Amino acid sequence: MLTLSADVAAALRAGLPVVALESTLVSHGLPWPANLDTARAAEAAVRETGAVPATIAVLAGTPTVGLTESELTEFAEAKGTFKASRRDLGAAVALGRTAGTTVSATMALARAAGIRVFATGGIGGAHRRTSASDPFDVSADLVELARTPVLVVCAGAKSILDLPQTLETLETLGVPVIGFRTDEFPAFYTRGGGGDASCRVETPAEAAAVFAAHVRAGGAGALLANPLPQELAIPADEFAAALTQAEADAVTARITGPRSTPFLLARIAELTGNRTLAANRALIVANARLAAEVAGCLLAHPGERPAGDENPPRQADFR
């Protein structure tokens, strides 16, 4: 069921570095035309580093690894696009839906295609609970990291989440949090405050070596946390005030479930004069560039076949 673009298929056959890119950022995370501009800039950053970008989505029921320029443009302009996490891939395929893939779904499809590095903005995590009656809501992204051997380059978890609980959950699931030139887990729009990274690296080559060793030791996914540049970061107290107001507005508007994150991010952008939008775009591109550098370094560390995987995915299976 998986379709690979011609350039992605050729790169994988030739053993060139390939970087997966998430499509929910295009379909749900950013407004038009910033979504298309940012997606193009992220792909360009990957190419400038010598790697091949593979933006992943489901197009009319077909999981597609590597959107063409026309597909990307049409996808960015589409209205009412389905949002698919790992659990929703079967429904999107069977019902012929066009869907943006979240971190968990993108990781699964990247792994199926043989791609080892994935760049995004921020991962999902444990949601904040304002009362004891609130459900314990943990993103499927964390579970996917625990079972799928893909390195996810991000700017931490989204700042609207419970970051200490997110880090605790990652520790429980055995997912390394690798800080890129930082000892802290970045908080997406703010540089620090998310807690401690489990280790620190200074170069893409070190990041590649840590991830490869983690997989060889029987681990699965890992996070490479890349902080937002200081000049674009939102002061922590200013962001906290905007988040409090956005959460109150969500309650008033009765926004719950999957609609919560897009609503909160859009409202916070309004409250900060779109500074979070500019920060979001910048960190997506920076993460794409770093992911491409790490993907190149990973070529020195051949992928390991998972235990019990007698028939791992082959390029020929997905023509």
Banded pLDDT at 310 (limits 50, 70, 90): very low
* pLDDT over threshold 50, residue 319: no
Kindly name the residue from 43, 158, 184, 293 that is annotated as catalytic.
Answer: 158
Does 83 participate in catalysis according to the annotation?
Answer: no
| 96-136 tens-digit pLDDT | 999 999 999 999 999 999 999 999 999 988 876 666 666 66
| 268-301 tens-digit pLDDT | 889 988 888 888 899 999 999 999 999 999 999 9
In a domain, 234, yes or no: yes
Q: What is the model's pTM?
A: 0.89
Kindly name the residue from 22, 43, 184, 247 that is annotated as catalytic.
Answer: 22
In a domain, 315, yes or no: no
pLDDT value of residue 240: 85
State what percent of residues in the chain have pLDDT above 70.
Answer: 91
DSSP string, 26-47: IIIIS-TTHHHHHHHHHHHHHH
- The whole domain housing 72 covers 3-303
In a domain, 256, yes or no: yes
In a domain, 317, yes or no: no
DSSP string, 140-196: HHHHHHHHS--EEEESBB-TTS-HHHHHHHHHHTT--EEEES-SB--BTTBSS-S-B
In a domain, 313, yes or no: no
Q: Does residue 33 have a cis peptide bond before it, meaning omega lies within 30 degrees of 0?
A: yes
| 43-57 tens-digit pLDDT | 999 999 999 999 999
What is the number of structural domains in the chain? 1
In a domain, 319, yes or no: no
In a domain, 126, yes or no: yes
Does 206 participate in catalysis according to the annotation?
Answer: no
Banded pLDDT at 158 (limits 50, 70, 90): confident
